[in-house]
């Protein structure tokens, strides 16, 4: 399984690795960093080759992935966790400010695995910590979604928002259309166009195929036990 992941990553991303990293430098600098204070403790779930976690600024940074090759791709300031995300994370309760995941939930084998992963995120996030989820929106993809061997779960912005709410997150931002679908097919538009795209949300309606959801962990208060 883990060796298969290494082969899949190389097949899809090796030829466009440098370009993908350059795109994520733009995405983190011009978009995601404004939601993530630089003193944050951040976990990237399904970090892959580290395009997000290597480029985002934070005080403590973790990358989690089943692909053992991840440890060779992450910067020295990122702690690598070669771990099944649906099992208990080796991270203390209430210690993270941000849990981030991009194009990952659809690869999990079942909805129960997604639910367990979200439960771990909730456990490890501080009160009012945030989960940021980016992923393909099946509503706008049709058959293209199945071009990848390891896609299992079909999600929309509404279905993922619903499971987050069920696990005591409040949805702060929910965009059904944000980024185009994929950079795994050697599509490399000029980087200046990536910057322009982020600055013109009107374009997202036409080209966006991925949702963006930001949820905040609720601070729960329980009523006093009556005797």
pLDDT in tens, 88-114: 999 999 999 999 999 999 989 999 999
Q: Which 8-state DSSP code applies to residue 1?
A: -
pLDDT tens per residue, range 150-208: 778 999 999 999 999 999 999 999 999 999 987 555 567 889 999 999 999 999 999 99
**CA separation for the pair 173, 211 (Å, rounded):** 10
**CA separation for the pair 47, 212 (Å, rounded):** 17
Pairing mode, strands 96-102 and 41-45: parallel
Which one, of 97, 88, 28, lies nearest residue 62 by Cα? 97
Backbone angles phi, psi at 142, to 5 degrees: 55, -130
Q: Where are the domains of the chain?
A: 2-217
> Helical H runs in the chain?
2-13, 17-30, 111-124, 157-166, 191-199, 201-207
Answer whether residue 147 shows pLDDT above 80.
no
Q: According to CATH, what is the number of the domain 2-217?
A: 3.40.50.150
């Amino acid at each position: 399984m883990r060796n298969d992941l290494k082969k899949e990553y190389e097949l899809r991303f090796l030829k466009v690795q440098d370009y993908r990293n350059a795109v994520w430098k733009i995405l983190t600098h011009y978009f995601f960093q404004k939601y993530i204070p630089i003193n944050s403790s951040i976990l990237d779930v399904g970090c892959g080759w580290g395009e997000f976690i290597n480029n985002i600024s934070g005080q403590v940074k973790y990358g989690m992935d089943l692909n053992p090759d991840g440890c060779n791709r992450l910067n020295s300031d990122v702690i690598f966790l070669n771990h099944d995300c649906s099992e208990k994370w080796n991270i203390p309760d209430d210690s993270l400010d941000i849990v981030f995941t991009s194009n990952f939930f659809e690869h999990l084998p079942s909805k129960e695995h997604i639910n367990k992963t979200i439960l771990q995120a909730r456990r490890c996030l501080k009160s009012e910590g945030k989960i940021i989820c980016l992923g393909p929106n099946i509503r706008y993809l049709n058959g293209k979604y199945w071009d990848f061997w390891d896609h299992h779960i079909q999600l929309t912005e509404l279905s993922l928002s619903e499971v987050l709410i069920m696990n005591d997150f409040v949805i702060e931002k929910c965009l059904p259309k944000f980024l185009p679908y994929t950079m795994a097919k050697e599509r490399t538009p000029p980087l200046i166009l990536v910057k322009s795209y982020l600055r013109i949300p009107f374009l997202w309606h036409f080209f966006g195929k991925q949702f963006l959801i930001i949820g905040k962990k609720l601070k729960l208060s329980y009523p006093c036990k009556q005797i």
